[in-house]
Chains A and B, each alone.
Chain A
Amino acid sequence: MTPSPATAIDPVTFEIIRHKLLRVTEETIIALENVSGSPITNEGHDMMVSLYQPDGELMIGGVGFLHHLTSAAQAVKHIIANFSENPGIGEDDVYFFNDSYTAALHPPDVYMISPIYHRGELTGFVANFVHVTDIGAVDPGGFSPNAQDNYQEGFQTKGLKIVDGGVLRKDVIETFLNMVRDPGMTQLDLKSQLAANHVAKQRMRQLYDDYGVAVVQAVSDTLIQQSEQLMRERLRELPDGQWRVREYVDVPGETCRVELTATKDGDTLTYDFTGSSPAAKLGINCCYWATWGAMFAPIFPLLAWDVTWNEGVTRPLRLIAPEGSLVNCRRPAPISIATVGTVQIVNNLSTLVLSKIFGASERYRDRATAVWHGSHAHVETHGVGPDGEFFIAPLTDTFGGAAGARAFADGVDIGGEIPNVVSRWANAESQELNTPVIYLFRRAVPDSGGPGKYRGGVCHEYAFTTVGDGEHPLGVVLFGKGTRAPMSLGVAGGYPGSNVRYTTFRGVELDPLPASLETIAAQSQEDISWGHVELRPGDVQYVRFMGGGGYGDPIDREPEAVASDVRRGLVTAAAAERVYGVVVADGVPDLDATAARRLAIRAGRAGREVDAALATRAEVPPSGRPLAEYLQATADGATQCTWCGHVVAPAGSDWKEHAVVVRSPVSKAGDWHSDDPEFTLAESCCSSCATVLDSEVLWRDDPLLRDSVERWPDSSA
């Protein structure tokens, strides 16, 4: 029985259809996993599936890399606008799309877009992406560290009909496969995408058969309205004001700056990237829709976690991205490294700025989190496989991740990332199956988590060697960022997580195989983070990631939590004492020695003795106008430290001008942190108790960031 569309949809049917739409995306993802041959897709979940409205708006977003949800919407809209007449969007057609200057993120992330028809009527679209094995660019694998401009970054189309009325176009696919290095695997990637859309269409048609197109469409429309309404309500519950965040990208010969000012006003939120660097020479740049998608990737799970992910979520948001900057570059700026370049920076900044806003909200303070997995230190390998064929194989270690610390708990160790809520690494065995590599180790890295009241999750490190015949070296393509600039920044005074390291070792003793960084005995070694490396038997490539950022002042961390970290090997005893001020003996905190050490740390920050009474948090009555973990505005507009109650700054002035600012090398936060002299860790401390109220990373003489909160909900300020 098909319910009449004219009658109101009962709540049960509404709920069932909502869940069925989610199930369609889930089942489609499973099909993608099953048919794909590539660990990056089926184990790493570097992919996305979403459903779109007949006009291209996001109907329901699946999981996977979330910056694609909105970008693929733009791609669908483009196809509708440009190809409806010629060559037409017919039943069982499929379009191939990957042009970043129109909608996508970077060339290897291919969108496969299928219209969904039911009984001759266009009812919507399904789109998915996977990172295809090769795209025919200057470097193998789709990331092109050697590309000087966009024209060297491979095959890029604004829409190409690859399946016409259910028939795969042989001329089209053969033309494409003729341009890529590993046509077998690349073809399998495309096949998995076609299979996934096939499954989505089948499921959607079943849904239409069961409930009728009109009912399903009415549910989708209502869901979009609901999501917009819920987002606007949530924004109204947050304070009004302006918050600023900044990150740096370090690539060979260049340090770029991305500045973000978020303005929350009533039920709208504007992200303004004015002040960001011009487009970089290397391919880390973002096109407009990449930046748009990148800002939403954290907004979905952090701000809209309990709202249906669709077009409605995007409506209260505005983006200002200056043209020609690296967040809105002009062709022919190269963009192939965007996803692990500026897209990730925008992900990080979006996370950070939302956390600052949450920090100024009593209701949402527990949503705040430091940056997770600040830099994808991704590696692509290639060479000649055991079967004599050329292969390209990305390693999935970067999907291990490390969670940022939260306002109520530590970051999860090796705990993933925000923009992809279902990422995971492939087993070493899966990576070794079809690729001539041997993993030597995959280990958690002590002291890599950003120190704080709550510690950032630790990251991991790994190393591999080649089992090739020696005749064909194993090629390694590197495009690393974050070896100098910290990117897993902390929040509310927390320190950043560790920096990335890439080292290539030559002439390594391999019997027995080294099982840790310390036991690698090499004739020579070199830190190379960009370009090509060739590994021959006896060579080892090592990579270390970034731990998650910390939350709050490290000397505010429970001594027992630090001791537990030491016992589990996640923090060394030396760092416990130096950074956290916790003296651990035989796995147990020495509380007297800890108190003395912590008081000494306060004195060091203040540059004078600090009264021991100030080492304990005082009972400071909440004013109802929080600013951050240790800051609030008083009724008369002054800024108060909520650790000791001291009024840090009078009304009408910026509190940082009255704070004690301690500038140190970033390596203050840990031995695996950057010691590059161009970067400093700037801690703005209370001039009375010396608690770290805010910490930030500055390049050269960049100014401190200033925030201003104008109004809290239900308050007259």
Chain B
Amino acid sequence: MHYVVGIDIGGTGTDCVVVDESGGVTLGKAFSTPPDFSVGILDALAVAAAELGVTRAELLQQTTLFLHSTTVAENAVVDGKLAKAGVITTAGFEDTLFAMRGGYGRWSGMTEEEKRNPIDTEKPPPIVPGELIEGVDGRVDARGEVHAAIDEAQVEAALRRLLDAGVEAVGVSLLWSFVNPEAELAVRRVVERVRPDLFLTLSHEIAPIIGEYERTSTVAINARLGPVVRAYLDNLATSLRDEGFAGVLLVMQAYGGLLPFDQAARAPVGMIESGPVSGLVGSKHIGELIGIRNIIAADMGGTTFKVGVVRDGLVEYQRESMVLRYHYALPKMDVVSLGLAGGSIIAVDPRTGVPHIGPRSAGSYPGPVVYKHGGEEPTVVDVDAILGYLNPDFFFGGRETLDIELARSVFEQKIARALGLDVLEAAAAVYRLANNLFFDLLHRTTVQRGLDPRQFALFSFGGTAGMHVAAYAEQLGVPQIVIPNSASVHGAFGLITSNIAHEDQVTQPMQAPADPTAVGELYARLEERMRAQLASEGFAGEQVRLQRLVDMRYRRQVHILTVPVDSDGAVDDATLERAVNRFESLYQEKYGRDSAYREAGIELVSFRLRGEGIVRTPDFRHEQTGEADASHAIAKRVEVWVAAAGELQEVDGYDYSKLEPGNALEGPAVIWTPITTVVVAPGQRASLDAYRNLVIETATGRAAAAAGAAVAGSHAA
């Protein structure tokens, strides 16, 4: 038997999905174990292996592809745990990172509202401080012509100053290096002579784009991440190999595809926020399966709340990739990540007596009090426990224990007394506050971007989302909540629905009509390289999918549109003409009939090849839908807080594993899944679809549908 394994590490949980040769899926989940995350990975693998009836070593020995996404990159940036790195740049441009293109560094990444209030905006401190930036002589112009040569002795002196200052990595960004890389390559020669093991990033390799600020910033972030991420990946690879893993290790990238281990280690900046992206890729996949094209995907785990949007079946890319307030020039799918979730710590401000949630988080260690991992500060999850939502029999399949009494007493001492309320009243108040905050976050990422939630389904993931989604979905006005079957391990699920994706390109501007022979030769060269790359990762024949693309623009214009070239083999005049026509119609569609400046001519700028290695997508058996009656799945009656009623009520508690497709139930009720509790509010109706996704129709949605039906009825009359 051969396996494909997907492992996604979040702030709290480590999720595992194993797909076997026949497409069968097995899930595993464990707590994340910072700082050495490999322990949590091995734990999650052990859970999955046990489910499969094999040992962990057997599982790993038979794993051909190991797909991985991790938060290590963004955590390092957000927590400020970056390596000390230096930057070597063209003399005269040492202030590029400090200046951040003027006001840009101050307003970019702000909301439209925030941009309109410049008084309250600041720039972040430069990602690399001035004292670690060295300018060197040497200058190339826009055509690659050398006006002043680089001086290797001067470079060496600069490098030694940086090394003396204690840098662990160096980024190099010289003007016009992406046109003429010789000077950057000269710097590499010096580094290889002086300190061959130094982590080194050259701007023309990682970000071969015009614009020294964005290129330098990319290089600087990458250099500061490099040693941290390399240590992490080396440790992971060693742990896996020690257990017998001999397959290919691939790492998720924020553009939505996977890269081989060694390439990922050289360009860790591409891994930033790739975990949430893999979740979004998974949501899109589920949406395709069940026919939903407008999705708000909200993932609430222990430490962060992440929101992404699929609109008309497409994931949107961020216009400018940023981490914190720092720019980088790699494409990234748009996911907003906010530090408020189940593990967020609750505190009462002693001066005002007002309760606050976050921004500090307990993560998985020490974690919420109720988990008994040593947490001593009350969190949102503890409030959920006090309100009766957590069930020790189901939590982590009954493998982890919960101490609800401890949570109650800590919450009473630290919060309820300070608020002058009894425990239940205080917990209900904090629960309401939390739900309002989650609503605000969703509102900011949807309504404030001009998206109408009434036209979207809310996909809800993560270990703590189920206990809150019923409340904020109503406030947001979505008609439907979908809690996918994969919700417990959604990031890992996204991994196995991703493909290995590489992109290669040659920039060689040509005027249209271009010479088809020359273009054909370019693509042939790119394809040879791509097939070799994919073969080294174990993909051949039908598992390889190639797509030719070309970047075009009207001359004198900066804006580029990328269009497909519809030929696999020989390129002729007609092929190129079709590409040009497609460019013109795309342009016209976007900008109107008279917007094109045709007289300037059309330029084919870059020839791109996208290569994908197709990972087998698991087969979700389409189960027969059965009776609506769900009473057979009731595990017991249980007393929980019903927010809409403002009191504790005894409601039916359902065992998710016993529900069958087609079963439906009315709120108020709770449904226990192996990782979370799903609260169904009064007026809501939950049902299980053919893929075992829980679909909840909201009260708002049902009322609107009824009103719509009534209107339709009156029209009919």
Chain B 32-53 residues near chain A, CB threshold 8 A: none
Contact of A422 among B91, B103, B594 (CB under 8 A): B103
Evaluate contact between B102 and A421: CB separation under 8 angstroms: no
| Residue from the set B115, B214, B591, B596 with the largest chain A CB neighbour count within 10 Å | B591
Does B121 interact with chain A (Cβ within 8 Å)? yes
With A302-B119, A421-B116 known as contacts, the answer to whether A195 contacts B595 (CB < 8 A) is yes
Does B312 interact with chain A (Cβ within 8 Å)? no
Chain A 395-447 residues near chain B, CB threshold 8 A: 399-401, 403, 406, 409, 412-418, 421-430, 432-434, 438-444
Evaluate contact between B118 and A418: CB separation under 8 angstroms: yes
Evaluate contact between B212 and A19: CB separation under 8 angstroms: no
Q: What are the residues of chain B within 8 A of A425 when measuring CB–CB?
A: 99, 101-102, 104
Does A331 interact with chain B (Cβ within 8 Å)? no
Q: What are the residues of chain B within 8 A of A439 when measuring CB–CB?
A: 92-93
Evaluate contact between B119 and A367: CB separation under 8 angstroms: yes
Does B666 interact with chain A (Cβ within 8 Å)? no
Does B372 interact with chain A (Cβ within 8 Å)? no
Q: What are the residues of chain A within 8 A of B92 when measuring CB–CB?
A: 439-443, 513, 515-516
Closest chain A residue to B100, Cβ basis = A414
Contact of B557 among A37, A406, A417, A467 (CB under 8 A): A37
Q: How far is the CA of A426 from the CA of B558 in the complex (A)?
A: 12
Closest chain B residue to A418, Cβ basis = B118
| Nearest CB in chain A: distance from B261 CB, A | 33
Does A386 interact with chain B (Cβ within 8 Å)? yes
Q: What are the residues of chain B within 8 A of A429 when measuring CB–CB?
A: 142, 175-176, 210-212
Does A352 interact with chain B (Cβ within 8 Å)? no
Closest chain B residue to A33, Cβ basis = B559
Does A34 interact with chain B (Cβ within 8 Å)? yes
Does B234 interact with chain A (Cβ within 8 Å)? no
Contact of A423 among B100, B102, B559 (CB under 8 A): B102
| Nearest CB in chain A: distance from B284 CB, A | 22
Evaluate contact between B556 and A184: CB separation under 8 angstroms: yes
| Nearest CB in chain A: distance from B492 CB, A | 34
Q: How far is the CA of A86 from the CA of B448 in the complex (A)?
A: 41
Chain B 197-226 residues near chain A, CB threshold 8 A: 210-214
Evaluate contact between B597 and A415: CB separation under 8 angstroms: no
Closest chain B residue to A202, Cβ basis = B592
Q: How far is the CA of A33 from the CA of B319 in the complex (A)?
A: 12
Contact of A427 among B213, B554, B559 (CB under 8 A): B213
Q: What are the residues of chain B within 8 A of A300 when measuring CB–CB?
A: 116
Chain A 4-25 near chain B by CB (<8 Å), digits 1 or 0: 0000000010011001101100
Does A35 interact with chain B (Cβ within 8 Å)? yes
With A306-B117, A421-B107 known as contacts, the answer to whether A187 contacts B597 (CB < 8 A) is yes
| Residue from the set A195, A197, A433 with the largest chain B CB neighbour count within 10 Å | A195
Q: What are the residues of chain A within 8 A of B118 when measuring CB–CB?
A: 301, 403, 416, 418, 421
Chain B 110-123 near chain A by CB (<8 Å), digits 1 or 0: 00110111110111
Evaluate contact between B115 and A433: CB separation under 8 angstroms: no
Chain B 112-154 residues near chain A, CB threshold 8 A: 112-113, 115-119, 121-123, 129-130, 135, 137, 139, 141-143, 147-148
Q: How far is the CA of A369 from the CA of B117 in the complex (A)?
A: 12
Contact of A19 among B211, B448, B592 (CB under 8 A): B448
Evaluate contact between A412 and B98: CB separation under 8 angstroms: no
Evaluate contact between A15 and B447: CB separation under 8 angstroms: yes
Evaluate contact between B447 and A16: CB separation under 8 angstroms: yes
Contact of B130 among A23, A367, A569 (CB under 8 A): A569
Q: How far is the CA of A116 from the CA of B305 in the complex (A)?
A: 40
Q: How far is the CA of A434 from the CA of B450 in the complex (A)?
A: 37
Q: What are the residues of chain A within 8 A of B93 when measuring CB–CB?
A: 428, 439, 441-442
Closest chain B residue to A169, Cβ basis = B594
| Nearest CB in chain A: distance from B709 CB, A | 11
Evaluate contact between A442 and B556: CB separation under 8 angstroms: no
Q: What are the residues of chain A within 8 A of B137 when measuring CB–CB?
A: 512-513, 515
| Residue from the set B130, B176, B559 with the largest chain A CB neighbour count within 10 Å | B559
Closest chain A residue to B319, Cβ basis = A30
Q: What are the residues of chain A within 8 A of B477 when measuring CB–CB?
A: 12
Closest chain B residue to A192, Cβ basis = B595
Q: What are the residues of chain A within 8 A of B107 when measuring CB–CB?
A: 416, 421-422
Does B399 interact with chain A (Cβ within 8 Å)? no
| Residue from the set A15, A39, A418, A443 with the largest chain B CB neighbour count within 10 Å | A443
Does A158 interact with chain B (Cβ within 8 Å)? no
Chain A 569-602 near chain B by CB (<8 Å), digits 1 or 0: 1000000000000000000000000000000000
Chain B 66-109 residues near chain A, CB threshold 8 A: 91-96, 98-108
Q: How far is the CA of A643 from the CA of B372 in the complex (A)?
A: 55
Evaluate contact between B559 and A34: CB separation under 8 angstroms: yes
Chain B 355-401 residues near chain A, CB threshold 8 A: none
With A184-B556, A184-B599, A440-B92 known as contacts, the answer to whether A412 contacts B121 (CB < 8 A) is yes
Q: What are the residues of chain B within 8 A of A421 when measuring CB–CB?
A: 103, 107, 115-116, 118
Does A42 interact with chain B (Cβ within 8 Å)? yes
Q: What are the residues of chain B within 8 A of A415 when measuring CB–CB?
A: 102-103, 105-106, 123
| Nearest CB in chain A: distance from B157 CB, A | 15
Q: How far is the CA of A423 from the CA of B122 in the complex (A)?
A: 15
Evaluate contact between B142 and A19: CB separation under 8 angstroms: no
Q: What are the residues of chain B within 8 A of A512 when measuring CB–CB?
A: 91, 137, 148
Evaluate contact between B99 and A444: CB separation under 8 angstroms: yes
Evaluate contact between B103 and A444: CB separation under 8 angstroms: no
Q: How far is the CA of A422 from the CA of B103 in the complex (A)?
A: 7
Q: How far is the CA of A569 from the CA of B119 in the complex (A)?
A: 24
Does B452 interact with chain A (Cβ within 8 Å)? yes
| Nearest CB in chain B: distance from A539 CB, A | 15
Evaluate contact between A442 and B95: CB separation under 8 angstroms: yes
Does A199 interact with chain B (Cβ within 8 Å)? yes
Evaluate contact between A442 and B96: CB separation under 8 angstroms: yes
Q: What are the residues of chain B within 8 A of A199 when measuring CB–CB?
A: 590-592
Q: What are the residues of chain B within 8 A of A168 when measuring CB–CB?
A: 593-594
Q: What are the residues of chain A within 8 A of B594 when measuring CB–CB?
A: 163, 168, 191, 194
Does B708 interact with chain A (Cβ within 8 Å)? yes
| Residue from the set A63, A421, A425, A516 with the largest chain B CB neighbour count within 10 Å | A421
Q: What are the residues of chain B within 8 A of A366 when measuring CB–CB?
A: 119
Chain B 302-326 near chain A by CB (<8 Å), digits 1 or 0: 0000000000000000010000000
Chain A 12-67 residues near chain B, CB threshold 8 A: 12, 15-16, 19-20, 22-23, 26, 30-31, 33-37, 39, 42, 63
Does B354 interact with chain A (Cβ within 8 Å)? no
Evaluate contact between B600 and A184: CB separation under 8 angstroms: yes
Does A511 interact with chain B (Cβ within 8 Å)? yes
Does A472 interact with chain B (Cβ within 8 Å)? no
Q: What are the residues of chain B within 8 A of A22 when measuring CB–CB?
A: 112, 450
Evaluate contact between A414 and B450: CB separation under 8 angstroms: no
With A421-B107, A442-B95, A516-B92 known as contacts, the answer to whether A430 contacts B559 (CB < 8 A) is no
Q: What are the residues of chain A within 8 A of B102 when measuring CB–CB?
A: 399-401, 414-416, 423-425
Chain B 439-488 residues near chain A, CB threshold 8 A: 447-450, 452, 477
Does A96 interact with chain B (Cβ within 8 Å)? no
Q: How far is the CA of A428 from the CA of B215 in the complex (A)?
A: 12
Closest chain A residue to B90, Cβ basis = A515
Does B711 interact with chain A (Cβ within 8 Å)? yes
| Nearest CB in chain B: distance from A585 CB, A | 18
| Nearest CB in chain B: distance from A514 CB, A | 8
Q: What are the residues of chain A within 8 A of B91 when measuring CB–CB?
A: 441, 512-513, 515
Does A273 interact with chain B (Cβ within 8 Å)? no
Contact of B599 among A187, A422, A441 (CB under 8 A): A187
Other contacts beyond A19-B448, A168-B593, A414-B100: 11, CB < 8 A: A19-B447, A35-B557, A414-B98, A415-B102, A425-B99, A425-B101, A432-B141, A432-B176, A433-B210, A444-B99, A460-B99
17 interchain pairs, CB-CB under 8 A: A16-B447, A35-B557, A184-B599, A191-B597, A194-B595, A199-B592, A301-B119, A400-B103, A412-B103, A421-B118, A428-B212, A429-B211, A441-B92, A443-B94, A515-B91, A568-B129, A569-B130
